[in-house]
Chains A and B, each alone.
Chain A
Amino acid sequence: MLDQEYLNWPIYGLTKEIKGKVLTARLREMTAFHIEHCAEYASLLMAYSVDTGTIVSLEDVPFFPVRLFKSYSLRSVPQSEIIKELTSSGTTSQQVSRIYLDRYTAAAQTKALVRIVQSFLGKQRLPMLIIDHPGVVKDRLSFSARGAGILGLANFGRDHTYALHDESMSLDLDGIRNFLARHKQERILLFGFTFMVWKYLVQALEQAGEKIQIPDAFLMHSGGWKKLQDEAVDNTTFKKRLMDATGTPSVHNFYGMVEQVGSVFMECEHGYLHAPAFADILVRDAKTWQLCDIEQPGVIQVLSALPASYPGHSLLTEDIGIVHGEDNCPCGRLGKYFSILGRLPRAELRGCSDTHAADVINQANTLL
């Protein structure tokens, strides 16, 4: 059985040299483990004549297209040990990823997410304002991935208050002001999906000609930028308009996916996404699969020490990104720091809306 020693690695404190050694060793061990326990994965690696003995650096770890989890049920543990099945989307019209978790992997995901989020928030549970409406977690019929995500991150907060009234998505300004009055002088946790924060908080306040003041807030948001990009809103614009409307300077996007729950990539104070110690990203040139240089865009590969019950430790995503550097981000965190530029255009021939948003939303499922 694979150990969980990696959870004790300093979360943003491994230098490139040490991380290269310990994470490569872990991923080499996982590759061998999945070859032994997942026949389909073994068949794939055989087709590429992979010899795990030759894996000496992170880029040698063979990658696996994340889309394949939509067509194949892949696991590396007996069915009897599966305690949870994650799916990427609640809708039935599209193919969804199916990820099988055993007790070991599910626990690792929870611990990993706690370690990452707490390194930003501290161990105290903060008063939490959720940029959504309570219906998403109350109405069992429309109980969505969005609701699941909110409940998952709710573990990091207290006095959970919803900023929107109901399905009308109208802003509950009185409710927000009462919440803020209850928690004067306290640090506040704000959470919502990127598009919801933009449309129903920032734009709603602007249109109403209202402002709120939450200067000591920590906003975590995720869910993809596609809709904002369609409106030509980038991260800088997002933050500036949010600052104007709410006085919140501390805004942190995070990047992750249902196929690698737990090892999320958080945005630092300088606007860069960061790889935690037990995960990493590589950016590849699609024409050759060679690694791209720093600041050269390519297809993102995500590596994670967590997935033991399914072969998801090294995935070729459908996202395009760019690495800015390693161990030298002005925020002081060690490890790679990077940005996501967008999704592969027309990735799947069949109609694809923003399923990615749903993928990310789902990542907190394991905390439930």
Chain B
Amino acid sequence: MTLPYSPVFDNSPALEDLIRLPTLIPFGETVVSFIETFSTRLLASSGARRFPELASLAFWMRHSSLARLRKHMLTDNRIFVARGTAFHVAPANVDTIFVYSWFISLLCGNRNIVRVSSKPSPQSLLIFELIAELFSQDEFSAIRERSLVVRYGHDSLVNDLFSRYCDIRVIWGGDESIREIRKSPLSATACEMTFANKYSFAVFDTISFLNADDEQIKSWADGFYNDSFWFAQMACSSPRLVLWLGEDKPHIITAQERFWRFLEDRLSLAVTGFDLTDYVNKRVAVDSLALQSKVSIIQASTNDLVRVWLDKPALYSELHCGAGLFFESSINELDELLPLLSRQIQTVIYAGMPREQMQNFLSTRQVAGIDRVVPVGKALDFDYIWDGYDMPKLLLREISLW
């Protein structure tokens, strides 16, 4: 019989075998050893040097991070067990997400079905290769038997099948695929996490940018480069808008000049990988905006960086196609963010302001959006609390014992 999906690994379990196996103990020895071995080998691979996102993936799995996660997940005197079978649908725009999603679930002891993109990137091929090696080792057979990593096209029958058997479904967007996969019913006892299309922006304190020394600005610019140019600025966490917090226009102009000069320096050392089509698409996006609203366009020495000044903060998410396009505007105080916020806003990246200022704003205002607020340079750092979900809490099941 031919399967309607293609398993990525040899010796993948049959679905009916996978769902019959018992779940594993959360944070069991084998799972921890599997993830630590993967992390070590990934760090040592040539891919980690070529693709910085693989290095941060490996970094996220190192011993101390796992210990922190364990502490968060398991509380003494409370009983947590694996939820059962998790069905993960990976996104197309960020190659490493499926590993985070799968491994957190694995740490929780679940059996996992992971749908990955049918067009594998060099990054994901490298990951597959390392995992295939681990799966060939007997000591990890318990994990191999509980892992079904598959590719398949837009096939609602396969969605139906996996959805029927899973206890939790984890759908990484975009909105289209969430809508599509939600057409397949879950069992009555199953639950779901969805990661919709989201957008992110940065808030920089103007006066701090004026007063900071060159070294500080350089470090912010380098961090911001990583935040925005990895994944071609197409991740949900990639900043698309930079807001300058400040009242004095000449101050803002000086702060902008300082910051973007350092960013251009960083860019000149980088290979962005943008192609003709990216540049033309970006030009179409910018010009389309300029046709309908009053903006001013600032071109850098190359089209890897294009900035558009807006009179009023806005995200224009339907226009933005990544590849180094930044909208900019100014706000006098954080309260002016409120009209911009919705459930579509994910990350606010900040620089030049104390954490307390953000904390004060977030805890005193009923903000309509924002899932995370991070210092510049940390936008793409994955965390097990994502888009407002505490992922391990949902991937585990708590038994209350009275």
Contact = CB atoms under 8 A, between A and B. Distances in A.
B277 A48 contact: no
A88 to B, nearest CB: 16
A205 to B, nearest CB: 38
Contacts of B274: 287
Contacts of A47: 290, 294-297, 308
Contacts of A71: 288
Contacts of B303: 286-289
A282 to B, nearest CB: 15
Interface in A57-81: 64-65, 67-68, 71-72
Contacts of B321: 349
Contacts of A294: none
A318 B296 CA distance: 24
B290 A44 contact: yes
A55 interface: no
B293 interface: yes
Most chain B beta-carbon contacts within 10 A, residue among A41, A286, A316: A286
B387 interface: no
Contact of A46 (B275, B279, B280, B294): B294
B91 to A, nearest CB: 15
Interface in B59-97: none
Nearest to A66: B284
Interface residues of A, number: 28
Nearest to B290: A47
A299 interface: yes
A43 B283 contact: no
Contacts of B288: 68, 71-72
Interface string B276-303: 1101110110011011111111010111
Contacts of B277: 344-347
B291 A41 contact: yes
Given A68-B284, A286-B303, A288-B303, A43 B275 contact: no
A318 B283 CA distance: 12
B304 interface: yes
Interface in B317-355: 321
A65 B290 contact: no
Contacts of B308: 47
B302 A344 contact: no
Contacts, number: 71
B280 A72 contact: no
A178 interface: no
Nearest to B297: A47
Contact of A344 (B276, B299, B304): B276
Contact of B276 (A46, A48, A72, A286): A286
B284 A65 contact: yes
Interface in B110-161: none
- Which interface class (under 10, 10 to 19, 20 to 34, 35 or more) fits B? 20 to 34
A287 B302 contact: yes
B280 A43 contact: no
A95 to B, nearest CB: 12
A47 B296 CA distance: 4
A288 B287 CA distance: 16
Given A46-B294, A286-B279, A345-B277, A65 B302 contact: no
B194 to A, nearest CB: 22
Interface string A343-360: 011110100000000000
Contacts of B291: 40-41, 43-44, 68, 72
B320 to A, nearest CB: 12
A67 B284 contact: yes
B302 A347 contact: no
A207 interface: no
Contacts of B280: 65, 286, 299, 316, 318, 344, 347
Nearest to A344: B277
A68 B296 contact: no
A61 B302 CA distance: 19
A41 B275 CA distance: 27
Contacts of B292: 40, 43
A64 B274 CA distance: 21
A320 interface: yes
A43 B293 contact: yes
A344 B280 CA distance: 9
A47 B308 CA distance: 9
Interface of B: 274-277, 279-281, 283-284, 287-288, 290-297, 299, 301-304, 308, 321
28 contacts: A43-B292, A43-B293, A44-B291, A46-B290, A46-B296, A47-B294, A47-B295, A47-B296, A48-B290, A67-B284, A68-B288, A68-B291, A71-B288, A72-B291, A286-B275, A286-B280, A286-B303, A287-B274, A287-B303, A288-B302, A298-B276, A299-B279, A316-B280, A320-B276, A344-B280, A345-B276, A345-B277, A347-B277
Given A40-B291, A47-B290, A47-B297, 10 more contacts: A41-B291, A43-B290, A43-B291, A46-B290, A286-B275, A288-B303, A289-B299, A345-B275, A347-B277, A347-B280
